[in-house]
Every structure is written in structure tokens, then in C-alpha cells.
Amino acid sequence: MEITFLGTAAFEGYPNPFCDGKHCSFAIRSDNLDKRLRSAAIIDNKILIDFGPDIVASCQKLGLSLSEVELLLITHSHEDHLYIPNFAMRQRTFNENFDGLKYMKVMASAEVINLISDSEYSVDAKILLNPSEPFNTYKFLEYEIIPVPANHYVKEKERGLLYFIKKGDKTIFYATDTGAFDEVYVETLVRNTSLNNIDLLILDATLGFSRSNYTGHNTFESFLGTVSNLRKVGLLSETSKIIAHHFSHHDNPNFHKLRELYFEKGILVSYDGLKLNV
């Protein structure tokens, strides 16, 4: 599988255009590695993960088309991950190639699917809405998709989803937005999925070097704790690649400094346009 990171920032982007703090001030004058759009990714040009407000800018920045996408995975309804008016770009009014556009299956929690279904932007957008339950395995083309619960509060009656994406003997685990995985959680993953190894872990690193006790995102320390717990149950091996992803500007320095800090732990750092093969 080939994955391309379309955006790698948290809710406010990096730099935040209204922030003159040290990280944002540095980033606005720096190279493109320090300029992060809101998070999204694409696998094999077929599977899009999240559909936030920067999707147009991301594709223009990277010279990409989404016309071949056949599956959209939505983690949750926070606006940096789901901007529902995006679906209008698939409607005939806004799409010259509407007749040639492939139908796109949308997988998300039932609560998110209802939000999309109730919107005028989903009408005649050539989408197929599929509510998804945690720990069920869904077949799509040559892939298997397994949603699992995130440790991230969204709102009453909605809990975010993380996604295992499997193709052949390779597995990607896209795990943002979420806080730490404790021992009980990782044992639940092992018990409720048939997976025995993650080839590529893409893990939330939003809070960086903060001392925050917020449980819905990872700090650097809770990121390392999650990695350790996944290793203990055998889901990560010596050959697994680990990517830190989804950065807030508050407590995350520039890309080159982040790369140094995470590299010491054997971890890579995402940036907009990063492309990896698994």
C-alpha cells in the first residue's frame, strides 16, 4: 500500500494564522515542512481518510486528484476532520465529469452517517453511506477495514473511530484523534481483531511536549507509552514503522526539531506530502 499525507496539523493548522507565538512565527517564515494543513491521508488513490476544510488546498498543494477515490473513512465529526459541504464538489452542478465520477462509499459511525445524510450537500453526490460498528471487519475491493474506538471525546452519543486497513499481509493502523492506549485497551484490540502485527502505525501526537492531562490526545510521553503497550501485546514488531501525526502548534516545535526528538525513539514524523510504501 502507498499512503500519502495530505495534511498533518491539528484543528487550528500550523501555523495558526491568528497566532504570533514562537512556533507559528517561525513556521510562517520557514520552509514548507513547517506549514501543515489539517489532517487527512490517501491510500493507493482509492481510500481517503477524513474530509476536512483543507482538502482542496491539500490536493492543489500536492498536485493530486481525488476522482479515483472509492472509499472515504471518517474518524469523527469534528470540523477539522469532516467538513460536510465538501460533498457538494461531487454534485453535477460543481463537477464537469459527474457522469464519469465513481460512486464513493462513506464509512463512519452511525452518528456521523446521519449528519451527512441529513445534509443537502450529500444529495446526488454519488455516495453510498455505510454506518460502521467497532471491531467489525468490512470488505472493500482487496482491502479489509476494521474500525475500533478512539479515546477521544467528540460529543454526546458520538465516539471517534480509528481504522485498521489491511491489504494482503500488510496492515496500516490510522490512529488519530485519540489519547493513550492503556494495557486494557491494547488487550481489547488483540482479543477483538484477528491482527497480529501492525506494519505502519500512524499515531496522534497533538499535544507534543505539553504537560497537559487532557486524555483525548497524546503528549510525547503518552505517545511513547502507547507504543510500549502495543509492543507488549505483539502488535508492533522490530520491523514496524511508527509515524507521529496530527500536530498542534502549542507544544510542538518545528519539523526539524521534532524529527530529531522522535528519531531518538525510532519514530518518524509526518509532514504534508510525505509518501510511504508498506
The domain spans of the chain are 2-277
pLDDT at residue number 36: 98
Is pLDDT above 90 for 27?
yes
Say if pTM beats, i.e. exceeds, 0.95. Answer: yes
- Where does the pLDDT of residue 58 fall: very low under 50, low under 70, confident under 90, or very high at 90 and above? very high
**What nine digits make up the cell of 143?**
482491502
Rounded CA separation 111/3 (Å)? 27
> Long-range contacts for 52-61 (Cβ within 8 Å, ≥24 apart)?
52/7, 52/79, 52/80, 52/81, 52/82, 52/83, 53/79, 53/80, 53/83, 53/86, 54/6, 54/7, 54/13, 55/6, 55/83, 55/86, 56/89, 58/6, 58/7, 58/272, 59/6, 61/37, 61/272, 61/273
Q: What CATH architecture is 2-277?
A: 4-Layer Sandwich (3.60)
Is pLDDT above 90 for 20?
yes
Q: What is the percentage of the chain residues whose pLDDT exceeds 70? A: 100
pLDDT at residue number 84: 98
Beta bridge partners of 219: 208
Residue 119's SS3 state is: coil
Give the number of residues written for the chain. Answer: 278
Mean pLDDT of 271-275: 98
Rounded CA separation 148/75 (Å)? 10
pLDDT at residue number 101: 97
Residue 228: φ, ψ to 5°: -60, -45
Residue 17's Cα: distance from chain center in Å?
22
Q: pLDDT tens digits for 79-124?
A: 999 999 999 999 999 999 999 999 999 999 999 999 999 999 999 9
**What nine digits make up the cell of 21?**
507565538
Q: What is the percentage of the chain residues whose pLDDT exceeds 90? A: 97
Radius of gyration of the chain (CA): 18
Residue 167's SS3 state is: strand
List, in order, residues 6 or more apart from 185 with CB less than 8 Å away: 151, 229
Q: pLDDT tens digits for 149-169?
A: 999 999 988 989 999 999 999
Q: Which amino acid is at 247?
A: F
Residue 75 · residue 39 · CB < 8 Å: no
- How high is the mean pLDDT of the chain? 97
pLDDT at residue number 194: 87
Residue 159's SS3 state is: strand
Q: HEC string of 195-255?
A: CCCCCEEEEECCCECCCCCCCCCCEHHHHHHHHHHHHHCCCCCCCCEEEEECECCCCCCCH
**What nine digits make up the cell of 276?**
510511504
Please calculate the CA angle 243-244-245 and round it to the nearest 5 degrees.
110
Rounded CA separation 13/276 (Å)? 22
